[in-house]
Amino acid sequence: MRDLPLDGRRIVLGVSGSIAAYKAAEIVSRLVQGGAEVHVVLTSHAREFIGAATFRGLTGNPVLTDVFDEPYDGRMAHISLAQGADLFLVAPATANLLAKMANGIADDVLTTMLLATDAPVIAAPAMNTVMFDHPATVANLSTLRQRGVEIVEPAEGRLACGSDGKGRLADPDAIVAAVHARIRRSCDLTGLRFLISAGAGSEPIDPVRLITNRSSGRMGVALARAAARRGGAVVLVAGHRSVEPPPGVEVVRFDTTASYRAACLERFPACDVFIGAAAPADFTPVTVSQTKIRRDSSGADLMIPLRSNPDVIAELAAQKDSRLVVGFAAESEDLRTRALEKLRAKGLDLIVANDITAEDAGFDVPTNRVVLVWPDGRHEDLPLMTKDELAHQILDRILGMTGLASRTPSPA
């Protein structure tokens, strides 16, 4: 019996109102041939271009066209399918649908299901070039990418309106290839145990004030979310002020470097990969005042003696054995040189370095551009991308370092 690449996978295909809707039939056919169980959802405008009977014939399954369609397995159809999907594909995705997705509008069965699913989502836009280039569409696509939606870029060529430009639905081969890649990725980290840290540490000065830094935790949380979605078992050690952690991961909170160190040392023996994306404080006050330090009426300067905190990631790397230890370097100059020095000094297997002077990368923004550096001096420059996209790029490199990249994942 043939081993089909999508065997056992449930894929929901949402079709919106575009002249390219007819190409969805070819996409469905390819997915079914690959072994997938495909369920199609049509918007009212999509039904103006292609009928439900076509998709019933191709999939052997009912086609959803309304929120009030008959239930599946005793549950409401749109909820049952949305929550039972391995992947949600939207092709074609019109400008209208992308706007609804980006803004959380749920006014029909397809948009309701997109809000109800926690499956990976792929969208393949199709529209007029001017609509595709409109600032609103550009912003909506950026928002969706930041939320982890994969966009299959439209092709250039002759459009239905008669003009030439970018906006044609991507070739069905490209869309199906994106589905295959995402399905493979959805479980390629199965069996790997990740300990990931995120966010800023803080050291108290007195009951009111503290020493902290600008780390938001976005990068570490993105790594935790991506690793969990790809089948990894994830423990996230997160600063109290970091962004909301993703579902499906165990979360341990820290504030001081001492609490960060304790949490990491306790859980490090049970992990295969440690990714230190947190920013624990490097220094702590020698003494912490038990009462609020008051300003001197004379306006005299206040001197607070500080001592160095332990270098937690170096301590972990010293006892790593077969584990991988990945660190981060936030630098303002000589990025590659300083990152390599830090990597070798701490005994890391990989370091991710970013320029903190760049306005569109680093702290407080959803995007980043980094340089990956290995112990032998090799480096790889990654372009500007969302932190969710970057998380997958980093995990891809880590997977290659584990020697497990060539294994064939099985359905979860």
Phi, psi torsion values for 331, nearest 5 degrees: -125, 160
Burial of 218 (0-12, 13-18, 19+ CB in 10 A): buried
Given 3-state DSSP classes, what are the helix, strand and coil percentages for the chain, each rounded to the nearest 5? 35, 25, 40
Contact present, 167 and 158 (Cβ < 8 Å): no
Beta bridge partners of 42: 15
Check 161, 187, 264, 271 and give the catalytic one. 161
CB-based contacts of 367, cutoff 8 Å, min separation 6:
360, 361, 384, 385, 386, 387
Tell me how far apart the terminal alpha carbons of the chain are, to the nearest angstrom: 20
d(CA 174, CA 157): 16
Residue 106's alpha-carbon distances to 75, 112, 115, 401, in angstroms, are 19, 4, 7, 42
Question: Does 161 qualify as catalytic in the annotation?
Answer: yes
- The residues facing 382 across adjacent strands are 370
Give bridge partners of residue 306 from the DSSP assignment: 285
* Active site amino acids: 161
